[in-house]
Amino acid sequence: MRTLKFLLVTLLIISVVPVQARRKASKKQQKEQVQLPAKVDSISYAFGIDAGNGIKAAFKDIKERSDLELKPEIFVQAFNNVLLNDSAVFTKEEAADILNKFGAEMQRIAREKQKIAAEKNLAEGKAFLAAKASEVGVQKTESGLLYVVERQGTGEKPTLNDRVKVHYTGKLISGKKFDSSYDRQQPLELSVGGVIAGWQEGLQLMPVGSKYIFYIPSELGYGERGAGKDIPANSALIFEVELLEIIR
């Protein structure tokens, strides 16, 4: 894992000042204690700050993903043992084995969390869509797509083989916005047959000049795979779509 590899590499460059000693001194005292008379001293110190910030972020990442809070005191002790007197408790091979096993454990924990989150998203999406389907003005197709006509245009309807120009905003059912052509102030051109199934079906319902809201079940969206960090697995989606033009 990148985080664990980063920890191993930066063992060679982080500060060797004992953590407890740093904690006892105020920030002002710490600054007064640091002497940087030469250019190489300033560069060395800056390098330590950069590496320290990286280590701090790595510790936080591990805490968030595994609920394991690493101990900086022991971390620095190991560094001192290796760099100052080569008296580490573990050999490099033993340390690598420990971290490899921990990496595998973190991957297992991540998979379990993703599975639980996906199941939760699926259940919440179904409940949201079931409630939405009963609202006045909401229409439902045979596939399960829900839509509301905000404005009905008078132009042609696109086919699966057409390219269209649209404005849109995409949200999760929580209301969190993950994408918007309006924010970019630039309409999007796309192939009707090249987008998610909910969009393919929905666009073909719209005459040019229309503005619809789509409520898309996860199976007509990005399904179990999700889409990056913004759209988790099994997410139901809400899209406000304005069909501007069919491009031929």
| Percentage with pLDDT > 90 across the chain | 56
For range 206-227, the mean pLDDT: 96
Size (the chain), residues: 248
pLDDT band at 243 (very low <50, low <70, confident <90, very high): very high
Residues with catalytic function:
168, 178-179, 196, 222, 239
Mean pLDDT of the residues in the chain = 86
Tell me: the pLDDT tens digits for 187-206?
999 999 999 999 999 999 99
pLDDT band at 82 (very low <50, low <70, confident <90, very high): confident
Residue 87 has pLDDT above 70, yes or no: yes
Residue 18 has pLDDT above 80, yes or no: no
pTM of the model: 0.69
Q: What are residue 162's phi and psi, to 5 degrees? A: -85, 160
pLDDT of residue 31: 57
CA distance 236 to 160: 23
pLDDT of residue 150: 97
Angle at the Cα of 180 from the Cα atoms of 174 and 185, rounded to 5 degrees: 150
pLDDT band at 12 (very low <50, low <70, confident <90, very high): very low
CA distance 78 to 74: 6
Tell me: the pLDDT tens digits for 90-141?
888 999 999 999 989 988 988 898 999 999 999 999 999 999 999 999 999 9
DSSP the chain: -HHHHHHHHHTTTS--S-HHHHHHS-HHHHHHH----SHHHHHHHHHHHHHHHHHHHHHHHHHHHH-----HHHHHHHHHIIIII---SS-HHHHHHHHHHHHHHHHHHHHHHHHHHHHHHHHHHHHHHHHHHTSTT-EE-TTS-EEEEEE---SPPP-TT-EEEEEEEEEETTS-EEEEHHHHT--EEEEGGGS-HHHHHHHTTPPTT-EEEEEE-GGGTTGGG-BTTTB-TT--EEEEEEEEEEE-
CA distance 158 to 74: 64
